Amino acid sequence: MKILVTGGAGFIGTNFVYHMTEKGHDVTVLDKLTYAGGKDNLEPLGDKVRLIIADICDREAVKKAVIGQDWVVHFAAESHVTRSETDPELFYRVNVEGTKIMIEESLAAKVQKFLHISTDEVYGSKESGLFKEEDKLPGDGQASSPYAKSKAQADDLAQEFAKTGAPILITRTTNNFGPWQFPEKALPRWITNLLLGEKIPVWGEGKQVRDWLYAPENAKAIEFVLEKGKLGEVYNVAANNKPEIENRRAAEILCAGLDLDPKKWIEFVPDPRPQHDFRYAIDTTKLESLGWKPERKPEKQFKETILWYKEHENWWKKRKEEAEKIYKK
C-alpha cells in the first residue's frame, strides 16, 4: 500500500514506519521536524522512505502530500503534558485544527482509510476497572490537561467525520515506550539519567499506574487495525500488564536492567502535578476479539529499550539538554 504517515519522524511514528517498510509498503512521512522529531530517525531507512518536511496545519502542503495515497496514518501531535500547560494554544492548533485539515484533505483525495491515533488520556483517570471504547463522552470534560483536552477534541472530530461515512478508524493507546523516544518522557528520561550516572527522579510516592505498551507492539496493532478493523470504529490498544506497573516499579526494573541498586538510584521528589491523572487503564477486548494480542513481557521489553539507548548514545545525548528544559524552573 501507499501510506502517508504524519509525525513519522517522531517516536511512535518512527517505530510504525520501520515496521511498515519492513513489510514492503511504500511509505511517505509528513513531519514538521519539531524538537521531538528527527530526520536522523529515518536516515537508516535510506530511500525506502520519502520525507516531506511540512506542518499539518499547512493545508496546501497537506493537499499535495495526500495525493495518490491509499492510507493515511495520523500520528502528528504535540504530546507532552507539561509543555501543554504553558502553551495550550499550540496544542489546540496542532492537535485539533491540524487533524481537521488532515481529514478534510485526505477525504478530498479519496484515500481508502484514515487512521487517527488518539490516546487513553481522553478517558481521564480511573481508580479501578477498565475504560471501554464507549466510555469516552463527547467533549473534553473527562480530560485533565490541555494536551488531553486537545486530543479529546480531535478524537470527537474524527468520530464526527466517521458518522458521515468517511473511511476513518481510531486507536486509543496507553503510554508507549521503546526505541526513538525523546528523553523528556519518563522512561527514556530515567534510562538516560542512569546512563549519565544520575538518579531517577520519581514523582510523589511513585504509585501512579501506567499501562506501558512497547512501541513496536503498538506498530503491529496499528497495522492490524488498518487491515482488520471496521471503518468508523474506535479500538483501544494496551498491554494490559498483569500485575499493573506502578511508576516506582518501572523505575526499579530499569535499575535492575543496569545492575544498579534502586535504593541508591531512585530519588522520590515532590509531585509537581498532584492533581494529575493517577491511573490509566483501558479494555482491549474489542480489538482482541478480532485476533490481535500483544506480547506481554514488560521486563524483557524494558531491557531491550535500555539496550537501545546504550547503543544509541549519540542520538539521545544531543537531545538530552532540550528534554530537561521543561523540568527546570
For the chain, report the end-to-end CA distance as a whole number of angstroms.
Answer: 47
Packed helices 247-257 and 186-195: angle between N→C axes, nearest 10 degrees: 30
What mean pLDDT comes out for the span 281-303? 96
Can you give the pLDDT at residue 237?
A: 98
Angle at CA of residue 77, ends 159 and 21, nearest 5°: 90
| pLDDT on residue 236 | 98
Residue 194 has pLDDT above 90, yes or no: yes
51-79 pLDDT, tens digit per residue, is 999 999 999 999 999 999 999 999 999 87
pLDDT digits (tens, 9 = 90+) for 195-228: 999 999 999 999 999 999 999 999 999 999 999 9
Active site residue 120: yes
Rounded Cα gap, residues 81 and 190, in angstroms: 17
Single pTM value for the model = 0.96
Catalytic one of 31, 120, 133, 252 = 120
Q: What is the pLDDT of residue 33?
A: 95
Which one is the CATH code of 2-176+211-237: 3.40.50.720, 3.30.590.20, 2.40.50.140, 3.40.50.460? 3.40.50.720
Q: Break the chain into its structural domains and give their ranges.
A: 2-176+211-237
| Selected catalytic residue, list 92, 123, 147, 235 | 147
Percent of the chain residues past pLDDT 70, beyond the cut? 99
- Does position 329 have pLDDT exceeding 70, yes or no? no
Q: Is 33 left (phi over 0), alpha (psi -120 to 50) or beta?
A: left
Residue 145, number of CB atoms within 10 A of its CB? 20
Is 77:151 a contact under the CB 8 Å cutoff? yes
164-179: pLDDT as tens digits? 999 999 999 999 999 9
Euclidean distance between CA atoms 319 and 309, whole angstroms: 12
DSSP summary character for residue 246: B
- Residue from 113, 117, 154, 144 nearest 235 by CA: 117
Tell me, yes or no, if 280 is annotated catalytic: no
pLDDT at site 202: 96
pLDDT score, position 60: 98
The single residue of 55, 78, 105, 121 carrying the catalytic annotation is: 121
Say whether 147 is catalytic. Answer: yes
Contact 157, 99 (CB under 8 A): yes
